[in-house]
Amino acid sequence: MRFQSIEKLRGLACLLIILHHTHHPTIDYNWLPLGMRQGWAGVHVFFVISGFVVALYMLRIMDDVEGPTFLARLIQKRGVIVEFLVRRFFRLAPVAVLGLAFIAACFSLFNFLEPLALSHPARMFQVFRTLAETLVPVYNLTISTYGFSDANRLCLAPYWSLSIEDQFYLLLPLLFVAIPSNSSRFRFALIASAVGAFVVRPLFHVLFTHVYTINALYSHTITNFDGLFLGVALGLLFAELAATGAPAGRPSSRSSWLAGAIVVLSFVFIWLYPSRHGEGTDRGRNVMHVYILVAALSGLSVWLCATFERRGRDILHFPIIGPVLDYLGARSYTLYVFHMMVAKVARYAIVDPRWDSDPYRPLILAGVFIGLLLTVTEAVHRLVELPMRELGKRYAATFRKTPEAVATALSG
């Protein structure tokens, strides 16, 4: 089942991330006050959404796992697991690779006035290193060790979260094979999320205080699986409740508007509240209770959207705003990959920084950035993302279907 309201959540999360990165010191759009620039929580909203959606998909392909041992069950389901991984590869890798090619081309074509400490060959080395470490995927571990400095300056920062999601996609099918009972899967996911949030993060924060751990706290694998497994737990619970009977009936307009308002206020909270803690551009990023609140409100938003839509109501279908969020949500992955480099190009290569004193410069910069970002995103979405997604579906079908079905899929 495809949830339009959750697609809109992706659009909202993407807007938070774009607001955050356009105000980063390496881009410095300076549109909003410091207290309104903390959009890093959008990444963790994506994690909860991914856990929820992928858990529902895994339930469909792992509904009949049988066998006395893990190895027997793995052999039984090897076809659908490979199919799942192939589809995820075609869904994510082509746009990620094209994004890195775009970054390399921009740093080769434009002489950015914003100085970089790295030479051009060193920049290209970092881009190709990111490509290799994203495909493996281990790029987030590089960030956790060396920090975000070069990644932010080279617009490579979005790739750390892609590595974490890829690691999650490799792990989750194995967990579903190892734990064949849905009730046990739910308990495991809930415990994994709680341990990540209430044990792993605090231990990283308390036992280590140097720079390495500050970076690791934000980008290490084991400090980010809590949101993903919270999404898995919610997905399993949602599927269990959905299987117990038909929906209770279409919700009233009043209750739907109230649920929609709760979701919007939750996003406003996770956008503004982190600025009350810490200093600098990434306020609240390494504060334990801020993480927990972000995860909890993200989970609440996903749950409200899914449960109301199952009963026939899209609680985020607001006039004008709803279609915009639909559009952004459908293209959120491409927007996420390309927005930072496009922002840098607009800021330093198109809109002359010498116009900084011009009162109309923010409007000009906004128009150039939004127009360029939407143009690049639409082109990549239509010419690369959608075709590669369909190609992935057709190719992945060869791993579990009969020869006749394979022939049909390949000729379709």
Residue 144 confidence class, pLDDT cut points 50, 70, 90: confident
179: phi then psi, degrees, rounded to nearest 5: -120, 90
Query: Cα separation of 396 and 334, whole Å?
Result: 22
Residues belonging to the chain: 412
Tell me, what's the pLDDT at 209? 60
Give yes or no for residue 387 having a pLDDT over 60.
yes
Residue 361 confidence class, pLDDT cut points 50, 70, 90: confident
Tell me, what's the pLDDT at 117? 63
Give the residue from 199, 263, 209, 204 showing the smallest Cα distance to 229. 199
Q: Are 162 and 199 in contact (CB under 8 A)?
A: no
Q: Are 328 and 10 in contact (CB under 8 A)?
A: yes
Give the residue from 138, 146, 130 showing the smallest Cα distance to 163. 138
Q: Look up tokens 């915009």; give the residue.
A: 324
Tell me, what's the pLDDT at 406? 42
Q: What percent of the chain has pLDDT over 70?
A: 89
Tell me, what's the pLDDT at 49? 96
Least confident of 35-49, 105-119, 295-309, 323-337: 105-119
Tell me, what's the pLDDT at 170? 94
Tell me, what's the pLDDT at 242? 85
* pLDDT digit string, tens, across residues 217-246: 788 888 889 999 999 999 999 998 888 766
Query: Cα separation of 240 and 107, whole Å?
Result: 50
Q: Are 235 and 53 in contact (CB under 8 A)?
A: yes
And the tokens for 152? 């932010």
Tell me, what's the pLDDT at 202? 81
Q: Please give the full DSSP string across 269-309, using - where no structure is assigned.
A: HHHHGGGGSSSSTTTTTT-HHHHHHHHHHHHHHHHHHHHHH
Residue 352 confidence class, pLDDT cut points 50, 70, 90: low
Tell me, what's the pLDDT at 334? 97
Least confident of 160-169, 247-256, 339-348, 389-398: 247-256
Q: Are 280 and 190 in contact (CB under 8 A)?
A: no
Tell me, what's the pLDDT at 25? 74
Residue type at 104 in one-letter notation: A
* pLDDT digit string, tens, across residues 154-196: 889 899 999 999 999 999 999 999 998 888 999 999 999 999 8
Residue 405 confidence class, pLDDT cut points 50, 70, 90: very low
Tell me, what's the pLDDT at 404? 44
Tell me, what's the pLDDT at 7? 95
pTM of the model: 0.91
Task: Give CA angle at 218 (380, 90), nearest 5°.
Answer: 30
* pLDDT digit string, tens, across residues 281-334: 677 777 888 888 999 999 999 999 999 999 889 999 888 889 999 999 999 999
Q: What percent of the chain has pLDDT over 90?
A: 46
Least confident of 164-178, 200-214, 260-274, 283-297: 200-214
Q: What is the rounded average pLDDT for all residues in the chain? A: 86
Query: Cα separation of 70 and 166, whole Å?
Result: 22
Three-class DSSP category at 92: helix
Give yes or no for residue 411 having a pLDDT over 60.
no
Q: Look up tokens 């057709």; give the residue.
A: 394
* pLDDT digit string, tens, across residues 275-289: 887 666 677 777 888
- Mean pLDDT value of segment 47-60: 94
List, in order, residues 6 or more apart from 281 with CB less than 8 Å away. 23, 24, 25, 37
- Which helix H or strand E contains 46, and what residues bound it? helix 41-61
Q: Are 126 and 149 in contact (CB under 8 A)?
A: no
The ranges assigned to domains in the chain are 4-411
Residue type at 340 in one-letter notation: M
Give yes or no for residue 400 having a pLDDT over 70.
no
